[in-house]
A = this chain, B = another copy of it.
Amino acid sequence: MTVSRVLRNRGDVSDATRARVLEAAKRLGYVPNKIAGALASSRVNLVAVVIPSLSNQVFPEVMTGITSVLDDTPLQPVVGVTNYLPEREEAVLYEMLSWRPTGVIIAGLEHTEAAIAMLRGAGIPVVEVMDVDGAPVDSVVGISHRRAGRMMAQEILQAGYRRIGFMGTKMPLDHRARKRFEGFTDALAKAGVEIADRQFYSGGSGIAKGREMTEAMLNRTPDLDFIYYSNDMIGAGGLLHCMTHGIDVPGRIGLAGFNGMEIVDGFPLRLATMDSCRLEIGREAARIIAEHADAAGTPGAGAGERIELQPTLSLGDTLRRG
């Protein structure tokens, strides 16, 4: 009836009635039932966001990018967390799709077959984010982690370092970290250099862990002249170890991390790192969904965009110039 029109500012309604309805709604503390509305209109202003974790700083930042764009639209993000488990991802995705969202933003390109089938069949725009090394279902926005690994390797080699160690999480399911590692070792191999030491750890990536492990690695392989960390947090830990033990960085040993996190700017010596463009990734992904929101539900709802962002490498103070 008319009430519906008023509440949605649609159709022609006289100011008098409008006022009357509004007043009544406020007085009754009326909150419309979106469930019924969505069912009737088959329009749901929700965007499903599926990410592996909230503990890893990186994802909240992607979320921030997403939110900043969606805030100017009627769309609202809904977050699902998978803990890096493919089966959780499948379950979370199923759950979210059953609410018939306007679009999906999902981290990574690796999903179970069932998950891919669901994404394909959903008939809504899908944006896979963070990574571009693989075959997307629909749109994709991210960086090439393989390339990022290669770039860092080249920079390190060019600076003259040769006894290079690597430190990263033992997460076979963190495909992006794996791809960086692969790109890194590939580029080294091309120059005839092999990783001199490596350490894969499990559990969170804290500064404390970076300190301990760096100390251990340096004890084990004293002639290392570089350590590449799979993220800035453990990298910061390594840097802290060197700083407090009077180890000359980047002279005696060079260090580099990954992500371009805020913490890097906090240290008196800035860790070499590579920006992973996560704010931008979130923004672009949200933009794609927003632009194709109307298409949701219609055949060919996808956007099929492919946006590869270019991470910038910053040498900071821990990687001497080549």
A265 at the interface (CB under 8 A from B): yes
Residues of B within 8 A of A117 (CB): 29
> What is the minimal beta-carbon distance from A246 to any residue of chain B, in angstroms?
12
Report how many copies the assembly holds: 2
When C-beta atoms are compared, the residue in chain B nearest to A122 turns out to be B31
Residues of B within 8 A of A206 (CB): 262-263, 265-266
With A39-B39, A67-B81, A78-B79 in contact, is A54–B44 under 8 Å at CB? no
A135 at the interface (CB under 8 A from B): no
> Do B61 and A208 touch across chains, with their CB atoms under 8 A apart?
no
Residues of B within 8 A of A57 (CB): 57
Residues of B within 8 A of A208 (CB): 262, 265-266
> Do A31 and B98 touch across chains, with their CB atoms under 8 A apart?
yes
Stretch in contact with the other chain, from A236-244, A283-291, A297-305: A236-244
Residues of B within 8 A of A200 (CB): none
> What is the minimal beta-carbon distance from A303 to any residue of chain B, in angstroms?
21
With A29-B121, A34-B99, A99-B35 in contact, is A211–B55 under 8 Å at CB? no
With A and B bound together, what is the CA distance between A6 and B3 in angstroms?
A: 38
With A63-B54, A208-B266 in contact, is A39–B35 under 8 Å at CB? yes
A210 at the interface (CB under 8 A from B): yes
Residues of B within 8 A of A98 (CB): 31-34
Pick the contact of A44: B31, B35, B55, B60 (CB < 8 A). B35
Residues of B within 8 A of A159 (CB): none
Pick the contact of A64: B54, B100, B263 (CB < 8 A). B54
With A and B bound together, what is the CA distance between A244 and B268 in angstroms?
A: 8
> What is the minimal beta-carbon distance from A36 to any residue of chain B, in angstroms?
5
Residues of B within 8 A of A23 (CB): none
A251 at the interface (CB under 8 A from B): no
- Interfacial residues of chain A within 24-79, with CB under 8 A of chain B in the complex: 29, 31-36, 38-39, 44, 54-55, 57, 60-61, 63-64, 67, 76-79
Interface centre among A38, A100, A265, by most chain B C-beta atoms within 10 angstroms, is A38
> What is the minimal beta-carbon distance from A117 to any residue of chain B, in angstroms?
6
> Do A36 and B39 touch across chains, with their CB atoms under 8 A apart?
yes
Residues of B within 8 A of A207 (CB): 262-263, 265-267
A201 at the interface (CB under 8 A from B): no
Pick the contact of A29: B39, B76, B80, B118 (CB < 8 A). B118
Residues of B within 8 A of A39 (CB): 33, 35-36, 39
> What is the minimal beta-carbon distance from A115 to any residue of chain B, in angstroms?
11
With A and B bound together, what is the CA distance between A211 and B57 in angstroms?
A: 21
Residues 80-110 of A, flagged 1 when their CB comes within 8 A of B and 0 if not, give: 1100000000000011011110000000000
> What is the minimal beta-carbon distance from A186 to any residue of chain B, in angstroms?
31
Residues of B within 8 A of A99 (CB): 34-35
> What is the minimal beta-carbon distance from A248 to any residue of chain B, in angstroms?
15
A160 at the interface (CB under 8 A from B): no
Chain A to chain B: the 6 pairs with minimum beta-carbon distance, closest first: A207-B266, A54-B60, A34-B98, A208-B266, A208-B265, A29-B121
